[in-house]
Amino acid sequence: MGSTSLIPPSTGMPHVPEPDLLQVLTPEGHRRPDHDLDPWLEDVTPAMLTSLHRDMTLIRRIDTECTHLQRQGELALWPPLLGQEAAQAGSAVAMQDDDYVFPSYRENGVAYLRGVDPLGLVRLWRGATFAGWKPQDHNFAAQQIIIGAQALHAVGYAMGITRDGADAAAIGYFGDGATSQGDVNEAMVFAASFHAPVVFFCQNNHWAISEPVGLQAKRHIADRPWGFGIPAMRVDGNDVLAVMAATRRALERARNSGGPTFIEAVTYRMGPHTTADDPTRYRDAEEVEAWRAKDPIDRLEKHLAELGEDVEALTADSTAAADAMAAELRAGVAALADPEPADLFDHVYAEPHHELERQREHYRLYLEQFDGPQLEAGVR
Amino acid sequence: MTGAAAENLTFGKAINAGLRAALADDPAVLLMGEDIGQLGGVFRITDGLQDEFGEDRVVDTPLAESGIMGTAVGLAYRGYRPVVEIQFDGFVYPSFDQIVSQVAKLHHRTHGAVTMPITIRIPFGGGIGSPEHHSESPEAYFVHTAGLRVVSPSTPQEGFDLIRAAVASNDPVVYLEPKRRYHDKAPVDLTAPLRPLGPAALAAQGSDVTLVTYGPLVKTCLQAAEAAAADGASLEVIDLRSLSPIDFGLIESSVRKTGRLVIAHEASRTGGLGAEIAATVTERCFHWLEHPPVRVTGFDIPYPPAKLEHHHVPDLDRILDGVDRALGRPNSLDSLDPFAAPVPLGSTSDHTSGA
Ligand SMILES: Cc1ncc(C[n+]2csc(CCOP(=O)(O)OP(=O)(O)O)c2C)c(N)n1
Ligand SMILES: [Mg+2]
């Protein structure tokens, strides 16, 4: 058929309408052969597996710690990633420093592995700033709340990479819900048209707030990119090795002028959409329980045990590292200062703006009429 | 049903009751939006409506605002009266093209042959400590767009009345819900007759200054009126209710009485409703004005992070500061812009206050 002929034969990706779920580690922790992904896992050693275990443990701890901080009133809101650690860690470790990440709001695990200080995440979610890190420092863009917008940004960045002849790729993260947005679909059109070195990384966590993925897509999400001329892989998102291999493969393909690739990482949002959400209103406990059995960290531990590693010892190490990080995070939170009213007027424009300067000056004069305490009053 | 059946309801429940009445009254009415079914919307405004009216009347849509708005247009072509929910103010923009180029213009384009009785519900405004894009006041974009009506209720009763009037209107109506007032409670007469969309309301009578506002700031302005009264100033508070068209008749008659006008809104200043009201009142009531109109608004900045929002959103003190200015009392602008205070003609020479 015409549609397959559009896909460069060099992709090597299966031209099947419903790609099977790519999986390397079964939920029981057995390593199974996979001829598509195994070539990308040749360097896997017990040490690397231990390091992935530690990454996922730390990511989970940041997540649970921030959920606690929200309950304690330190954060205004938090979007948990519980259950999605393998999707985030597996893809993040596949990147090179030069690759550029365009996240949504839930990629806090990816952020951490790109070197973003968890305190930056805290400042963001407590409402002190809109960007808790400098994107260039980590090649990790500002978080994106407008669903799907960042997919286009990733493609545009990738178009720039091509123009510069650089050896890098862009990767855009978004959810299953986001695949309904025009922006994401337009991003695929542009990526295909310009043969952009970009990876679309969709974490299908089965829910967009209260809407099940079936409302967004009648077939697998990974079926859709083929129609745009973009090959896709549907991987077990709770299998950190499968995710790492698929992402390595897609990024490598992008860097070698192979064009865009779409990865659907099939995972599950174990927690609420955010701390403001009550998932018991719309989903069954049994569904959540079924996914608990596929936990990404448990799975890796079972695999490590199968390899004869001392899981108890390495878990103790990971936990100790997580404890230390959590303690540091809490201490950092206690020392955080609130932003100042003068910050309101900063950075709205890159160049001077006399009317805004006038408003800044007016507000300064306004505040001068009071003595301190009134300024702290909340919105009435 | 009897007229005496006023129930104590929250703002959110009052809108919910209005939607229920609209669904019950007219089979052509249907609700569309993200998470509005089983969840009842993130603010629970549609709570229980899917259970009551079914999945084909209260429709969870895919996550795409342009899709929601564009399909609402098609449904309207087919004779339906879609009521669409935009989850938060900042998420309306993906549908902006459909609103501005289609929803607003189709009646005009077709010489009236096609009506677009679409209600666009948008929780708007700040004050609830939300992340970016969750606290915006986008009303001016819509007010600037010919073909759209724009309303914003300020009380539970208005919430109920205006949503019914909006759904009943044959024009597209942007219905802006002041989300930080969702939990305010008041008696609501659920048997109130359907009323017109347009008229503003005299929320408080007064004689010294006319204070015009709408939506979330009506409550704050009423508090300001109380505080001002203790300070010897009598404020007349006008609740616009309809932002397009604006009921200038009520504002003009009030300004002719008070001679002073303050407009308060959360939205930023430049090109906002305050500018429109100040200009129109100046055109029509110039000879009655004893002071230039004063605007108390959000700054010309993106809505700030939650920790700073109480500086951005006009509060009681900032409104009273504006009132002081209109009254020629000492106020924050005195040293920045002394010439905005009334001074005898011919006495000004060096105008140095900037642009
Ligand atoms: C344009 C836009 N519309 C609506 C929302 C509100 N919203 C925030 S998250 C979300 C669901 C997103 O689901 P998905 O893409 O699956 O990502 P997930 O939250 O599951 O990671 C919605 C509807 C938004 N942020 N932006
Ligand atoms: Mg999702």
**Residues B202, B251: Cα–Cα separation, whole Å:** 9
**Same domain flag for B48 and B176:** yes
**Same domain flag for B19 and B164:** yes
Is residue A60 over pLDDT 80?
yes
pLDDT at B53: 98
CB B129 within 8 Å of CB B309: yes
Go through the domains of chain A in sequence order and give each one's CATH number.
38-335 (3.40.50.970), 340-380 (no CATH)
Is residue A374 over pLDDT 50?
no
Pairing of strands A261-266, A232-236: parallel
When pLDDT is averaged across residues B61-80 and rounded to a whole number, the result is 98
Q: Does residue B352 lie within any of the structural domains?
A: no
What is the full DSSP assignment across B288-351? G-SS--EEEEE-SSPPPPGGGHHHHS--HHHHHHHHHHHTT---TTTTT-GGGS---TT-----
**Same domain flag for B220 and B249:** yes
**Same domain flag for B175 and B249:** no
Question: Angle between the B217-230 and B316-326 helix axes, to the nearest 10 degrees?
Answer: 60
**Same domain flag for B232 and B273:** yes
Cβ of residue A17 closer than 8 Å to a chain B Cβ? no
Tokens of A253: 């393909």
Looking at B103-208, list the stretches that DSSP marks H as alpha helix, in order from N- to C-terminal side: 106-109, 139-143, 156-168
> B322: Cβ–Cβ under 8 A, 6 or more apart, which residues?
B262, B264, B294, B295, B296, B331
What is the full DSSP assignment across A38-55? GGGGTT--HHHHHHHHHH
**Residues B191, B231: Cα–Cα separation, whole Å:** 40
CA of A240 to the centre of ligand 2 (A): 19
Residues A231-268 pLDDT 10s? 999 999 999 999 999 999 999 999 999 999 999 999 99
Full-model pTM: 0.94
- Note whether A348 contacts B40, CB cutoff 8 Å: no
Residues B139-187 pLDDT 10s? 999 999 999 999 999 999 999 999 999 999 999 999 999 999 999 999 9
Q: Does residue B154 lie within any of the structural domains?
A: yes
Tokens of B138: 């986008």
CATH at residue B262 = 3.40.50.920
Closest in B38, B134, B336 to A210, CB measured = B38
**Same domain flag for B174 and B35:** yes
Q: Does residue B341 lie within any of the structural domains?
A: no
Q: Does residue B195 lie within any of the structural domains?
A: no
**Residues B336, B257: Cα–Cα separation, whole Å:** 29
Q: Which of A81, A104, A146, A147 to mutate to test the pocket of ligand 1 (most atoms within 8 A of CB)?
A: A147
Q: Is the CB of A106 under 6 A from ligand 1?
A: yes
Residues B226-252 pLDDT 10s? 999 999 999 999 999 999 999 999 999
| Percent above pLDDT 70 for chain A | 92
Between the alpha carbon of residue A355 and those of residues A1, B91, B324, B354, B355, the distances in Å are: 60, 28, 22, 8, 7
| Percent above pLDDT 70 for chain B | 94
**Same domain flag for B168 and B258:** no
pLDDT at A3: 36
**Residues B149, B174: Cα–Cα separation, whole Å:** 6
Which ipTM did the prediction report? 0.93
B51-80 b/e with 16+ CB inside 10 Å = b? eebeeeebbbbbbbbbbbbbbbbebbeeeb
**Residues A295, B249: Cα–Cα separation, whole Å:** 65
Q: How many Cβ atoms sit within 10 Å of the Cβ of residue A142?
A: 18
When pLDDT is averaged across residues B276-302 and rounded to a whole number, the result is 98
Pairing of strands A100-102, A170-175: parallel
**Same domain flag for B256 and B157:** no
- Note whether A209 contacts B302, CB cutoff 8 Å: no
Residue range of the domain that includes B185 = 6-189
Tokens of A355: 């009317």
* C-alpha distance from B99 to closest chain A C-alpha (Å): 16
Report the catalytic residues of B.
134
Cβ of residue A339 closer than 8 Å to a chain B Cβ? yes
When pLDDT is averaged across residues A11-29 and rounded to a whole number, the result is 73
CB B116 within 8 Å of CB B171: yes
Instruction: Indicate the pLDDT class of residue A14, thresholds 50, 70 and 90.
Output: low
**Residues B118, B174: Cα–Cα separation, whole Å:** 8
pLDDT at A378: 44
Residue minimizing CA distance to atom 7 of ligand 1:
A147
- Note whether A345 contacts B299, CB cutoff 8 Å: yes
Q: What is the CA radius of gyration of chain B?
A: 21
**Same domain flag for B171 and B227:** no
Beta bridge partners of residue B211, listed in sequence order: B237, B262
Q: Does residue B157 lie within any of the structural domains?
A: yes
Cβ of residue B340 closer than 8 Å to a chain A Cβ? no
**Same domain flag for B263 and B168:** no
Q: Does residue B338 lie within any of the structural domains?
A: no
Cβ of residue A331 closer than 8 Å to a chain B Cβ? no
CA of B299 to the centre of ligand 1 (A): 28
Residues A265-316 pLDDT 10s? 999 999 999 999 999 999 999 999 999 999 999 999 999 999 999 999 999 9
Q: Does residue B40 lie within any of the structural domains?
A: yes
Instruction: Indicate the pLDDT class of residue A12, thresholds 50, 70 and 90.
Output: low
**Same domain flag for B160 and B299:** no
Cβ of residue A142 closer than 8 Å to a chain B Cβ? no
Q: Which of B65, B87, B93, B130 to mutate to test the pocket of ligand 1 (most atoms within 8 A of CB)?
A: B87
Q: Is the CB of B87 under 6 A from ligand 1?
A: yes
> B280: Cβ–Cβ under 8 A, 6 or more apart, which residues?
B246, B248
When pLDDT is averaged across residues B333-346 and rounded to a whole number, the result is 63
pLDDT at B339: 56
AA letter at A333: V
Q: Does residue B113 lie within any of the structural domains?
A: yes
Residues A129-176 pLDDT 10s? 999 999 999 999 999 999 999 999 999 999 999 999 999 999 999 999
Residues A338-359 pLDDT 10s? 999 999 999 999 999 999 999 9
pLDDT at B5: 72
CA B306 remoteness from chain centre: 21
Closest residue in A to B322 (Cα) is A366
CATH at residue B56 = 3.40.50.970
Is residue B39 over pLDDT 50?
yes
Is residue A188 over pLDDT 50?
yes
> A312: Cβ–Cβ under 8 A, 6 or more apart, which residues?
none
Instruction: Indicate the pLDDT class of residue B336, thresholds 50, 70 and 90.
Output: confident
Cβ of residue B336 closer than 8 Å to a chain A Cβ? yes
To the nearest whole number, what is the mean pLDDT of chain B? 94
Is residue A4 over pLDDT 60?
no
Is residue B342 over pLDDT 80?
no
When pLDDT is averaged across residues B83-103 and rounded to a whole number, the result is 98
Q: Is the CB of B91 under 6 A from ligand 1?
A: yes
pLDDT at B335: 83
**Residues A180, B39: Cα–Cα separation, whole Å:** 19
Question: B37: which chain A residues are within 8 Å (Cβ-Cβ)?
Answer: 210
**Residues A179, A102: Cα–Cα separation, whole Å:** 15
CB A105 within 8 Å of CB A132: no
What is the full DSSP assignment across A227-241? HTT--EEEEETT-HH
To the nearest whole number, what is the mean pLDDT of chain A? 93
Among B128, B154, B189, the domain-final residue is B189
Q: Where are the beta strands (DSSP E) in chain B?
A: 6-10, 29-33, 58-60, 81-85, 119-124, 149-151, 173-178, 185-189, 201-204, 209-213, 235-239, 242-244, 261-268, 294-298
AA letter at B298: G
**Is the torsion defined by CA of A151, A154, A159, A162 positive or negative?**
negative
**Same domain flag for B99 and B138:** yes
Instruction: Show which of residues 227-256 on chain A sit within 8 Å of chain B, judged by CB atoms.
Output: none
Closest CA to A173 of A101, A239, A236: A101
Residue identified by tokens 């609740």 is B239
Beta bridge partners of residue A232, listed in sequence order: A262
Tokens of A352: 């001077």
* C-alpha distance from B172 to closest chain A C-alpha (Å): 23
pLDDT at A20: 78
AA letter at A347: H
In chain B, the number of structural domains is 2
Strand, helix or coil for residue B232: coil
Among B130, B154, B189, the domain-final residue is B189
Among B154, B189, B224, the domain-final residue is B189
CA of A222 to the centre of ligand 1 (A): 19
CB B122 within 8 Å of CB B95: no
- Note whether A180 contacts B313, CB cutoff 8 Å: no
Strand, helix or coil for residue B96: helix
* C-alpha distance from A346 to closest chain B C-alpha (Å): 9
Residue minimizing CA distance to atom 19 of ligand 1:
A208
Q: Which long-range contacts (CB under 8 A, 24 or more apart) does B47-52 make?
A: B47/B16, B48/B16, B49/B16, B49/B19, B49/B20, B49/B23, B52/B20, B52/B23
pLDDT at B353: 40
Q: Where are the beta strands (DSSP E) in chain A?
A: 100-102, 170-175, 198-204, 207-208, 211-212, 232-236, 261-266
Closest residue in B to A348 (Cα) is B301
- Note whether A128 contacts B305, CB cutoff 8 Å: yes
Closest CA to B136 of B148, B149, B123: B123
Is residue A376 over pLDDT 90?
no
Cβ of residue A209 closer than 8 Å to a chain B Cβ? yes
Is residue B351 over pLDDT 80?
no
Pairing of strands B119-124, B173-178: parallel
